[in-house]
């Protein structure tokens, strides 16, 4: 049977995170692994009311096939959100509703990547993007991240020596590192990218989850139609709805629509209408503020626990929002070895290696703080800290 598979299937990595999540089905496991929103804040009652309201309308259109682009009022809501919160001149015609922002990445891969094409990504990079793009067999060029964003000198070298199709960035509260690009880095990045015939894929699922600092400009502020934006309702409403979007100029949108038609015709029509009903019937900003407040407490609890239980030579990022902290262990300690021991103690996290396309991450771990309360965070980090000290003592 192996000879029947497409050769590209051998190049696609399994999602390490999705595999780990199987372990977390055990209720005793304390998980820092998945990028999971906290289910305590899912608006269950409000979603039920919205579903009932949609279904009790006289017509049955919510249960019929829909347009590939998505439910028009929901697309207009997204466009208006860009106008209100970021001052971007976005219209509903530039919005495509997708099955989570992950499908947006796949559609971009379909539309823009030929085999062996050059694309630039962050190092460490978002695992979902690496997996989505790997299907189309590109040549990855990983550019290191610093505390303020991508290394612009290294990116300039890549762009000068290769015909790069696009640069993929998670510009706010990056997954896995948690870092956000500074204002000056964004401006200089836009200046650099403007010199080349290429796109920037601004993957921004966490942008509403800022609980410190100030909002900074999107790449679209400078690059206009050269910036393709991705967003998600998973982090602010509920991931089970599997609804996100792509925002792109009309020419790009036409290609993405064709790619989506070949994939699934359209995203779930009923869920789109239900979500829109929820959004227009409730104060989403009040709901988001509740999430931000809780996640900040959980982030602070995780940082405090790391400072108490991990060796002083361990370093970690201090995100202004999002869901993740990126820790770097002493060089003599393997994150994978720590993971194997931690599973035995019913604690899981994501070792750093899956986030690197060119090797690396041996001493790194990604820790999620959004899906555990403060007590579980303290207990889980205490267990990890004991294992770290035990391994170092050997």
pLDDT in tens, 185-200: 999 999 999 999 999 9
Q: Are 250 and 93 in contact, with CB atoms under 8 Å apart?
A: yes
What integer is the mean pLDDT of 5-29?
69
Alpha-carbon distance 31 to 43, whole Å?
Answer: 23
> Residue 169 has what DSSP assignment?
E
The pLDDT of residue 3 is 66
Q: Provide Rg for the chain, Cα atoms.
A: 21
Higher pLDDT, 7 or 244: 244
Percent of the chain with pLDDT over 70: 94
Give the number of other Cβ atoms within 10 Å of residue 327's Cβ: 21
The pLDDT of residue 15 is 66
Domains and CATH numbers, the chain: 2-43+286-393 (3.90.1150.10), 46-281 (3.40.640.10)
What integer is the mean pLDDT of 298-318?
97
Alpha-carbon distance 340 to 337, whole Å?
Answer: 5
The pLDDT of residue 57 is 82
Q: Are 94 and 248 in contact, with CB atoms under 8 Å apart?
A: yes
pLDDT at 17 over 80: no
Q: Which residues contact 248 (CB under 8 A, 6 or more apart)?
A: 94, 96, 225, 228, 229, 256
- State residue 88 phi and psi, 5-degree precision: -90, 140
Per-chain mean pLDDT for the chain: 94
Alpha-carbon distance 178 to 183, whole Å?
Answer: 16
The pLDDT of residue 5 is 72
- State residue 121 phi and psi, 5-degree precision: -135, 170
Q: Which residues contact 56 (CB under 8 A, 6 or more apart)?
A: none
The pLDDT of residue 13 is 65
Distance of CA 6 to the CA centre of its chain: 28
Q: Helix crossing, 100-112 with 250-263: angle to 10°? A: 110
pLDDT band at 60 (very low <50, low <70, confident <90, very high): confident
Model confidence pLDDT, tens digit, residues 228-285: 999 999 999 999 999 999 999 999 999 999 999 999 999 999 999 999 999 999 999 9
The pLDDT of residue 26 is 73
Model confidence pLDDT, tens digit, residues 157-184: 999 999 999 999 999 999 999 999 999 9
Alpha-carbon distance 151 to 144, whole Å?
Answer: 6
Give alpha helix (H) positions in the chain: 16-23, 44-55, 72-86, 100-112, 127-134, 152-161, 183-193, 220-223, 250-263, 269-281, 284-309, 335-344, 374-393
pLDDT band at 35 (very low <50, low <70, confident <90, very high): confident
pTM (two decimals): 0.94
To which residue do tokens 């989505």 refer? 132
Q: Are 149 and 189 in contact, with CB atoms under 8 Å apart?
A: yes
Find, among 39, 13, 10, the residue nearest to 373 by Cα.
39
Alpha-carbon distance 283 to 46, whole Å?
Answer: 11
Classify residue 300 by burial, with Cβ atoms within 10 Å: 0-12, 13-18, 19+.
middle
Alpha-carbon distance 66 to 274, whole Å?
Answer: 14
What integer is the mean pLDDT of 211-217?
94
Higher pLDDT, 25 or 237: 237
């Amino acid at each position: 049977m192996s000879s029947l598979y497409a050769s590209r299937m051998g190049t696609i990595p399994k999602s390490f995170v999705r595999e780990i999540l199987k372990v977390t089905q055990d209720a005793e496991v304390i998980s820092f692994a998945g990028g999971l929103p906290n289910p305590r804040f899912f608006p269950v009652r409000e979603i039920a009311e919205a579903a009932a309201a949609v279904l009790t309308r006289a017509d049955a259109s919510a249960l019929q096939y829909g347009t590939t682009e998505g439910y028009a009022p929901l697309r207009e809501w997204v466009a208006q959100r860009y106008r209100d919160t970021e001052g971007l001149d976005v219209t509903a015609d530039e919005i495509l509703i997708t099955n989570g922002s992950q499908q947006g990445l796949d559609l971009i891969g379909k539309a823009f990547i030929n085999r062996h094409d050059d694309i630039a990504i962050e190092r460490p990079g978002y695992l979902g993007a690496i997996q989505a793009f790997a299907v189309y067999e590109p040549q990855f060029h990983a550019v290191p991240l610093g505390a303020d964003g991508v290394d612009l000198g290294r990116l300039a070298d890549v762009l000068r020596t290769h015909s790069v199709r696009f640069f993929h960035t998670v510009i706010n509260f990056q997954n896995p590192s948690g870092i956000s690009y500074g204002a000056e880095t964004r401006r200089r990045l836009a200046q650099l990218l403007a010199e080349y015939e290429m796109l920037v894929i601004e993957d921004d699922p966490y942008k509403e989850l800022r609980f410190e600092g100030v909002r900074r400009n999107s790449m679209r502020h400078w690059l206009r139609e050269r910036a393709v934006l991705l967003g998600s309702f998973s982090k602010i409403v509920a991931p089970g709805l599997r609804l996100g979007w792509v925002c792109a100029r009309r020419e790009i949108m036409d290609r993405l629509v064709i790619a989506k038609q070949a994939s699934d015709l359209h995203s779930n029509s009923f869920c789109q209408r239900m979500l829109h009903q929820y959004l227009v019937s409730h104060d989403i900003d009040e709901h988001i503020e509740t999430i931000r407040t809780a996640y900040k407490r959980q982030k602070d609890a995780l940082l405090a626990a790391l400072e108490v239980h991990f060796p002083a030579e361990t370093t970690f990022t201090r995100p202004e929002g999002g869901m993740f902290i990126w820790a770097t262990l002493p060089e003599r300690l393997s994150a994978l070895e720590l993971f194997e021991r931690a599973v035995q103690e019913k604690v899981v996290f994501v070792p750093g290696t899956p986030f690197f396309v060119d090797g690396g991450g041996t001493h790194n771990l990604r820790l999620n703080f959004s899906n555990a309360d403060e007590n579980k965070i303290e207990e889980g980090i205490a267990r990890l800290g004991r294992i770290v000290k035990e391994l170092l003592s050997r």
